[in-house]
Amino acid sequence: MLIEMVKMKKTLDKNTRDELIRTAIEARRHAYAPYSNYTVGAALLTSTGKIFSGVNVENAAYPTTMCAERVAVFKAISEGECKFVAIAVVTLNGGAPCGSCRQVLAEFGLETRVLIADAQGQVVREATVAELLPGAFRPEHLLDDSRGR
């Protein structure tokens, strides 16, 4: 049922949005953020109707930290899912996805919807990846380059 609804609609219905945000809120409880104390939860909906959660995972060697959004994307990719419909990102205050996460999302589609919500599940912004990362570097840029050689 969810799969059919997702395939048919460009906009997300309320049930799907609620489920994504609920999943991201739940996931956020497992965030490992002892250094920043800024916990992030993400929930990624794929075109087959599966939802992959993610949390930020920090490290004492700070730069090796991984964001919640990318954890969700990498989990999905590693399980053979690479078409994304939407991702919900939940933080205490509705913080926006970082540039690296935008770039990783852009790799797999500019139309993926991004729901940015606070800890209460209030959506503070909804946008496509294209809107969040105008002029993204895309796989086709690499292809263009190799053709010219």
Return the active site residues.
69
58 binds ligand THU (CB under 6 A): yes
DSSP 62: G
65 binds ligand THU (CB under 6 A): yes
* Token pair in block for residue 29: 């409880």
Residue from 21, 25, 27, 40 in contact with ligand THU (CB under 6 A): 40
* Closer residue to ligand THU, CB minimum distance, 38 or 137: 38
Residue from 23, 46, 53, 56 in contact with ligand THU (CB under 6 A): 56
67 binds ligand THU (CB under 6 A): yes
Q: Greatest CA span in the chain, whole angstroms?
A: 53
Binding span for ligand THU by CB under 6 A among 8-16, 33-41, 75-83, 139-147: 33-41
Closest distance to ligand THU from the beta carbon of 18 (Å): 22
Residue 65's nearest CA partner among 108, 34, 106 is 34
Q: Which strands, in side-by-side order, build the sheet including 41-46? A: 51-55, 41-46, 84-90, 113-117, 123-128
